[in-house]
Each structure stands twice: as structure tokens, then as C-alpha cells.
Amino acid sequence: MTRTRAFALLAIGAAAGMAGAYLYAHYGPEFLQSASWWNRAPTGAERAILYYRDPSGAPFWSATPKKDGRGRDYLPVYADEEPAFESVKPGEEVGEAEQQTRKILYYRNPMGLPDTSPVPKKDSMGMDYIPVYADEIDDKDTVKVSLDKVQRSGVRTEKVTTQHLSRTVRAVGTVDHDETLLTVVAMRSDGFVEDLFVNKIGQHVEEGEPLFRVYSPQIQQAQTDLIVALRAEARKGQDAERAVQGAVQRLRNLGVPKSRIEEILKTQANERTLDWPAPADGDIIEKKVIKGQRVAAGEELYRIADHSQVWLIADVAEADIALIDVGMKATATLRANPTLPVEGKVTLIYPVLKPETRTVSVRIELPNPEGLLKPGMYADVLFEVEDGAALAAVPQNAVIDSGMRQVVLVAMGDGRFAPRAVKLGRRGGGFVEVVEGLKVGEEVVTSATFLIDAESNLRAALQTFSQDSPP
């Protein structure tokens, strides 16, 4: 049996040798080298192990074989399982001759840490440092990010365009009385208040409605003089006619209502008291008289405010006051009634800045036919700033503002980005004007800007290290 098996093995070997000789003679050595069965995959013993990872997937690694807390072996990670860190295009390989001709500036940490070396080395896990070639560094102001990283990071770009920036200015205001619609009630002679018809603050009165009943000796004497002059005029005397005109003028000077003078001219009746009428429509906002009080000439008795129109005093920030003009439209939204905005217009920009708040008061006239706007109410004000000329602008989220300077990232193509300082101007509609630093048509990064900015800062740090320790 043993002899038979030996003859069989010899026969198989001879057949294989004859087949190999036949293939070599007819197809040449290239056929044997290119055959897939000939180029077999390396076994586990032949594959290069980079490091060992935790079997449970936890972020723990080891440069040598070890066990975890449960006694399980760490799993090996082979070199052919790790993605290449170099940005080689699909289908393109870098040969050894080409690598030798490229100038190596320094070697960087394979895990992305800010650690470089002028010579080849390994990290604490046994991983080789990755060479950084001179042709990978464009210039000191350009950042290169691999295209797959750009796609994974969600980087988006937009072109610099011309925009009509419609900016809105917001402020907070307080409703106040319209000073042009305030009326003070006072007598021009001394008197005594015998009765009071309007005795409450906040009471609404109509023009001509009696406010109080007063007895005034001066008014009583002027009425008597008018009656005497009228009786003298009946004798058709020229001096009597002038006396009537003088008596009527004295009553007017004392503020006696026109209706009372006409009544005297018609009836020649000398009433002892006078019902003092309201001089205007409005609400009583001040009352300084009580029944039986003696009043002096010129003393303020009532103050009437017409609330059919009110003022809104808005405090505009110092930085925005240059955008406000007289006649500009403004929309006020009362916090007491946020669903009914009221439109008005700017009538005055006060000439004084409040140093405590760094704001300027702006007066807005608002119609108030239904009386919903009450003095003292707070309102949010929105000024409609008219559009100016078309300006070069970029989205606001494209600007990286450090507080000291403003920077945008300009897309140069092929994953290259250049940070560029800009000077900004007006803002509005989600855009900001670029006064200096950009031209219309250039592309700027509008998303993931801080990721690229961090890459730029890291690259600058690595360049500093490489300059201190040249390879």
C-alpha cells in the first residue's frame, strides 16, 4: 500500500512538471507571473501588524499583544486594513522613484496630533510617522484639505454677488402724549368755584362741555358794563357804540366764552355765575381744582390730552442712528397687543445722545382712533430702511469674526482654501457688505468654516515646528 501511494505521488508530480513546461514553452513567463492562482494573498503570518485594538470596540490600543480585563486577546490590525493617509487619486499610484524625487519637509504624527519630526520615527503605538512633501504645501496662506474630507465635513461655498441690502433697525419705545394736542384749562380772572361737573382724572370730555361753575367779580363787572353800553347805544349815540365794542372786548380778554357774550347781546341778562366750558376734546390727565375752591388768574385747573394721535419715543442705538431719517416709516408692535402692529412715521430725531444707554430718542407719530395706544405702554419698533445701491456681499455665516479682525475662506479649487482678511460694511437680509478684500465672482466657504480654520491653525503650527527643526 505504501509503495502504491509513492508511485501515485511521483506520477502526479511528473504530470505537474510536464504541464508547467508546456505553459512556459507556449505562453512565456509573463503568463505565470500574472496568473491569480500564482499570486496568492499573504497569510496572517506574512501580513504586517500595525497595532492591536480592544476586542469590545472600546477606544483602547496596544503596540504589543495583550488581554483586556475579561481575559480576551486584543485583535490585530493589519497594514492592509488601514486607509491610506496620503491623498492619492483613484487609479493613481506613487512609485518609489517618484517618492525619492519628492522633497520631504518633515514627518507628522499618524494620529493627527500636533507633533512632527525631521526624521522618520514611530509613535508610542509603533505606527510610522507620515511624510509631508514640499509639493503638498502650496504657500503660507493656503490650506489644503483632501476632497473626501471636504465632502465628509459638509463644506459649502457660494460666490460673491451684488445684493440690495435691506436692513431693518429695531428699537424699544414708550408711548407718550402728543404734546401738540395738550390743553390747559385756566381762568384769566379771580373767582370761586361753586360747583364741579368734571371731578375725576381720566374722564373724557367733549369741547363745550361744562367743567365747573364759577363766580368771578371781574367777569360780573364786565357783563354789567356791556349791558350799560347796550342801553346807551339805543339812544343812537356814537360814543355808546364804541362803548359796546369796548365792553365786548373786555369779556373776550377775560376768556368768557363766545356763547355767553352772544347771550348777553341778545337778552341783556346779567347772570351771576358762569359754566366754564371745555376748550377741547380729550381725556382729563390732570385735575387741580375742587368744589368751593378760590382760584386765581392764570392758575392751572385741568389738563386735557387728545389721544386720537400719540407719540412713540423710541431709543435707537448709536450705531444705527445714521440709518434713521425724518419721514421714514416705522412699525410699532405693542407688547399689550402684539397681534395688531401700528404704522407711523418719524417726525423728529432728538439732538441729544443719552450717555447712560448710548441711544438717541426718535419721535414717531402714531394714529390712535380707537384709543388702544395708552401713554406709558412699551412697544417694539421696526424701522424700514430703504434699499440702496447694489453692493458686493457675502452670506453672514461666511465671516469668521475673532473680535479683532474678520476673515473669510476663499475656495481656490482642488480642496485648497485661502483665509483672507476683509473689511465689512452694512448688513441686512442675511448678507454683509464686503468693502475690501474680495471681488465679485470669487467663491467663499459658507459652512464648516471653523473646521477649515482649525486646519489652517494646525498647519501654521506645524510649519513653525518644521522651520525650527529643518529636516
Calculate mean pLDDT across residues 9-16.
Answer: 51
Q: What is the pLDDT of residue 64?
A: 84
> What dihedral do alpha carbons 57, 61, 66, 70 form, nearest 10°?
-30
Radius of gyration of the chain (CA): 48
Q: Which of 251-265, 279-293, 343-357, 411-425 has the lowest mean pLDDT?
A: 411-425
* Strands (DSSP E) found in 265-405: 274-277, 282-287, 294-295, 300-305, 309-317, 329-334, 337-354, 359-367, 378-384, 391-395, 400-401
pLDDT > 70? residue 220: yes
pLDDT digits (tens, 9 = 90+) for 329-340: 999 999 998 888
> Dihedrals φ, ψ of 447, to 5°?
-140, 155
Say which CATH topology domain 147-165+389-468 has.
2.40.420
At 134 the pLDDT is 67
**Is pLDDT above 70 for 98?**
no
pLDDT at 32: 44
* Distance between CA atoms of residues 258 and 113, nearest Å: 96
- pLDDT tens per residue, range 129-163: 888 776 665 555 666 666 666 666 667 888 888 87
What distance in Å separates the CA atoms of residue 279 and residue 276, rounded to the nearest whole number? 9
- Give the pLDDT of residue 99: 55
DSSP-assigned letters across all residues of 52-65: EE-TT--S-EESS-
pLDDT for residue 1: 47
The separation between CA 156 and the C-alpha centre of its own chain, rounded to angstroms, equals 21
Domain ranges of the chain: 1-40, 44-82, 99-136, 147-165+389-468, 168-178+306-384, 188-298
Residue 23: strand, helix, or coil: helix
Instruction: Say how far apart CA 374 and CA 380 lie, in whole Å.
Output: 15
Residue 272 pLDDT greater than 80, yes or no: yes
User: How high is the mean pLDDT of the chain?
Assistant: 79
Q: Which residue in 403, 263, 398, 382 sits closest to 331, CA to CA?
A: 382
Helix (H, G, I), strand (E, B) or coil at 303: strand
Coil, strand or helix at 465:
helix
Length of the chain: 471
Distance (Å, rounded) from C-alpha 343 to C-alpha 370?
14
What 80-89 contacts at long range (C-beta under 8 Å, 24+ apart), as own/partner pairs, is 80/47, 80/48, 82/50, 85/110, 85/130, 86/130, 87/136, 87/146, 87/147, 87/415
Tell me how many degrees the CA angle 104-107-110 measures, rounded to the nearest 5: 135
Specify the higher pLDDT residue, 468 or 445. Answer: 445
Q: Which residue has the higher pLDDT, 400 or 29?
A: 400
Residue from 229, 235, 231 nearest 248 by CA: 229
Longest alpha-carbon distance in the chain: 178
Q: Where are the beta strands (DSSP E) in 145-239?
A: 156-159, 161-163, 168-177, 182-186, 191-196, 204-205, 210-215
CA dist., res. 407 & res. 420, Å (int):
5
What residues have CB less than 8 Å from 182, skipping those under 6 apart?
303, 304, 305, 306
pLDDT score recorded for residue 440: 87
Instruction: Select the highest-mean-pLDDT range: 22-26, 153-157, 161-165, 309-313.
Output: 309-313
Inter-residue contact 303 to 285 (CB < 8 Å): yes
- All three cell numbers of 147, joined, read 476632497
Q: How far apart are the C-alpha atoms of 393 and 389, rounded to whole Å?
A: 12
pTM of the model: 0.54
Cα separation values, 400 from 159, 280, 422, 448, Å? 17, 60, 10, 11
CA angle, residues 149, 151, 156, in degrees to nearest 5 = 120
Q: Does domain 168-178+306-384 have CATH number 2.40.30.170?
A: yes
Which run of H or E residues covers position 329?
strand 329-334
Average pLDDT, integer, range 83-100? 48
Q: How far apart are CA 119 and CA 43, in angstroms?
A: 32
**Region for residue 77 given its phi and psi (left: phi exceeds 0; alpha: psi -120 to 50; beta: otherwise):** beta
Mean pLDDT within 357-366 = 95
Residue keyed to cell 444707554: 357
What pLDDT, on a 0 to 100 scale, did the predictor assign at position 35?
A: 46
What integer pLDDT is reported at residue 153 of this predicted model? Answer: 61
| Residue among 435, 309, 439 nearest 372 (CA) | 309
